[in-house]
Amino acid sequence: MVAPGQQSANPHRPSEILDTLKRLGFGVAIAVPDSWLGEILVRIEQEPAIKLVRATHEEEALAIACGTRLGGLRTAMFVQNAGLLSMGAGMVSLAQRYQFPLLMLVSYRGTIEDPVFYHAPKGRVTEPVLKGIGLAYALADRNRPIGPQVERAATYAEEASCPFALLLSQEDVQW
């Protein structure tokens, strides 16, 4: 593990995310597009060990992810934070109620780092909503390697038997 403040061995953070998922044995990724996520999803699609499923809506993606995890596959989700806002009912009544461990890798739009102004309303309410629905989450630290952060998020999901959302910046996830 790289100590805080040091550079990762792989400074390209999106490829470090992908390498970490492969190393941890993730077998499937369920995704709904966001412009920051576009290329990493294409890269996942090219990986023989990880199946990519493109869903039409984030709550649907959440249910597909519960099904793949129920069937024994370690499962990651790639969604924008807008999707966290729209999947609330399924989160509490399915994923949390049945205690499905899911790693949610979330493009965190609408922060002050985001140049696209219309995402701001979503950025402003994302963390209060996550706290409100009791979804465990963390903000990725851009000054530390991203791979160990993804691994800790995945570990938390499994060992606490719940979904865990890691909120990612543009440089974390845009290839």
Partner 1 sequence: MVKAIRPGRADYYQVLADTLPQHALVVTALGNASYLWAAMHHRPENFYFEDAMGLALPLALGLAIAQPARPVVVVEGDGAVLMHMGALVTVGAVAPGNLTVLLIQNGVHAASGGQALTNAKLDLAALARAAGIAGAQNVTTPEALAAAMGAPSDGAGARCLVLSTNPDPEVVRPPIAFDPVLTKHRFMSAIGAPRYVPTMFGGGRLQHD
If you search the block for the tokens 């040091």, which residue do you land on? 6
48 part of the interface to partner 1, by CB under 8 A? no
Beta bridge partners of 102: 163
Nearer to partner 1, 91 or 167 (CB): 91
Nearer to partner 1, 75 or 80 (CB): 75
98 part of the interface to partner 1, by CB under 8 A? yes
The least distance separating partner 1 from the CB of residue 154, rounded to whole angstroms, comes to 9
Q: Contact with partner 1 (CB under 8 A): which of 10, 15, 41, 64?
A: 64
Nearer to partner 1, 28 or 146 (CB): 28
Alpha-carbon Rg for the chain, nearest whole angstrom, is 15
Q: Return the C-alpha torsion angle 13, 100, 87, 35, nearest 10.
A: 20
51 part of the interface to partner 1, by CB under 8 A? yes
Distance CA 174, CA 38 (A): 8
136 part of the interface to partner 1, by CB under 8 A? no
The answer to whether 173 and 17 have CB atoms below 8 angstroms apart is: yes
Q: Contact with partner 1 (CB under 8 A): which of 14, 16, 20, 59?
A: 59
Alpha helices in 1-145 (DSSP H): 13-23, 38-45, 58-70, 81-86, 88-90, 120-133
Residues binding partner 1 (CB under 8 A): 24-25, 27-28, 30, 51, 53-57, 59-75, 89-90, 93-94, 97-101, 155, 158-159
